[in-house]
Amino acid sequence: METRLAELRQPVLDRATTWPYKDGELGSFAYQRYDHPLAAESERVLGDLEGGRALLFSCGMAAISGLVLAFCKPGDAVAVPFGAYVSTSHLISDELSRFGLRLVEFDQTGPPPEEAAFVWLEPCSNPMLSFPDLDDSIARAHERGALVAVDATMLTPVLLRPLEHAADFSVHSATKLLGGHHDLVLGVASCARDEDAERLFQVRRLFGLIGSPDPAWLLLRSLKTLPLRVERSSATALELARQLQDHPAVESVNYPGLGDAVAARYVHAFGPLLSFVVRGGAAAAEALERSCELIENATSFGGARSTIESRSRWEGDRVPPALLRLSAGLEDAGELWSDLERALASL
């Protein structure tokens, strides 16, 4: 890892919205909506990790929206994986369709749709945990002239650097593992090419999508411990996935660490998120999420505290009614399993 994260010095929290011209000339910063010192420092660190030009956004959805607004045009088909983050699909189908974009959903474990002008990949997908063959999918999309963005929120650049696999863009909800403490909302998009970063910068400026100084300061605090947190929560998730798989109240478990050979070609660990289906339908899933005590019954993932929730409340029939999504945090793995085992026994 080029940047030695633990050694990063925490910068001053500069909340200025405007900076004076120098002899009438623009300095490094002029107006916070364009750029500010904490965005620039976050982008330096993240760009170094990703091997590209990073831009900070107000949240993951702002980064995703910025990319679509910058690089898609009316008539384009945008391909988004089934079982991936639901709002990426909704952004295209419910909002940007009014501007002539078309959503095509596809199974990312196979090739991307030929008609797509812009392809999203999401390893490991939220909440179904599928994993694409990145090199093959990206090469196929490029052969047809499509652009490819990889949402690597679940893995972070500690485990996967999509630009090294020829993706055009890498994107993250920094609200999750990069932030890691459930106390900030931010997004980041990194570009393989400088000219794309310039274009995205212009879109961010005009649509007002930049992340603010306070969460950027917290993000820089968090990045120092990122590798430790990613490795620890991934190891715990794998342990819990294995234990869940053997439990009689559990019908199925989704986690690439349980033998996904394609995923294992790309990463040595699989992130904090897993999902599983309990026997007994939606009522059983709802009872289980409420019975957990150490694991918080809340949405989101990638924080120090483990979280669990039934996903159908958000995604309706896009997911199995008894699907629970669990994010392993930094607690003791044995205590987390005891909490789950007790909750499963009460079903």
Contact residues for ligand PLP (CB under 6 A)? 59-61, 85, 122, 126, 151, 153, 173, 175, 185, 187
CA–CA dist 19, 28 (Å, integer)? 9
Shortest distance in whole angstroms from residue 305 CB to ligand PLP: 16
8 C-beta neighbours (distance < 10 Å), count: 14
Q: How far is the CB of 112 from ligand PLP (least distance, A)?
A: 17
**Least distance CB 332 / ligand PLP (angstroms):** 26
Query: Which H/E stretch holds residue 6?
Result: none
Q: At closest approach, how far in Å is the CB of 145 from ligand PLP?
A: 25
* CB nearer ligand PLP, residue 83 or residue 187: 187
Positive or negative torsion for Cα 49, 55, 56, 61: negative
Q: Rounded to whole angstroms, how far apart are CA atoms 341 and 339?
A: 6
DSSP 111: P
Residue 151 CB, nearest approach to ligand PLP (Å):
5
Q: How many beta carbons lie within 10 A of that of residue 137, not counting itself? A: 25
Of 254, 70, 250, give the one whose Cα is nearest residue 154: 254
Residue pair 255/237 in contact by the 8 Å Cβ criterion: yes
Question: For ligand PLP, which is the closer residue by CB, 83 or 343?
Answer: 83
Residue closest to ligand PLP, measured at CB: 60
Q: Which is nearer to ligand PLP, 122 or 133 (CB)?
A: 122
Q: How far apart are CA 302 and CA 178, in angstroms?
A: 8
Q: Which of 208, 204, 195, 178 is nearest to 67 (CA)?
A: 204
Shortest spacing between CB 25 and ligand PLP, in angstroms = 36
Nearer to ligand PLP, 153 or 275 (CB): 153
**Closer Cβ to ligand PLP, 126 or 137, answer by number:** 126
User: Which letter, b or e, does each residue of 109-127 get, where b requires 16 or more Cβ atoms within 10 Å of its Cβ?
Assistant: bebbbeebbbbbbbbbbbb
| Nearest residue (CB) to ligand PLP, 89 versus 175 | 175
